[in-house]
Amino acid sequence: MNKRKLLLITNIVLLLAFLTQTTTVILFQIIKSKLVFEIHKTNGLVFILALILHAYLNWSWIRVNILKRSKKPEITPA
């Protein structure tokens, strides 16, 4: 599987996991069900793993666009 296809699948999993997390939080506030809590907890792990994979697959973009901006400029003596 190429990187682009894997990233597409990862993005879809991230979206679904985010929506599931949001839905289970709202449901748990309405009905304090153990099943809803277990779904929320398990899906949270899926969400974190997908987030790590997403960051790994986009690391070159992150390094070029995010990390280079955070470096302090070098001051050369006059």
Cα–Cα distance for residue pair 4/23, rounded to 1 Å:
29
Q: What is the pLDDT of residues 17-69, one digit of tens each?
A: 999 999 999 999 999 899 999 999 999 999 999 999 999 999 988 888 887 76
Count of H-run helices and E-run strands, the chain: 4, 0
Query: What are the residue boundaries of the structural domains of the chain, listed by start?
Result: 3-59
Q: What is the pLDDT of residues 8-18, one digit of tens each?
A: 999 999 999 99
Check: pTM over 0.85? Answer yes or no. Answer: no
Q: Which tokens belong to 68?
A: 């280079």
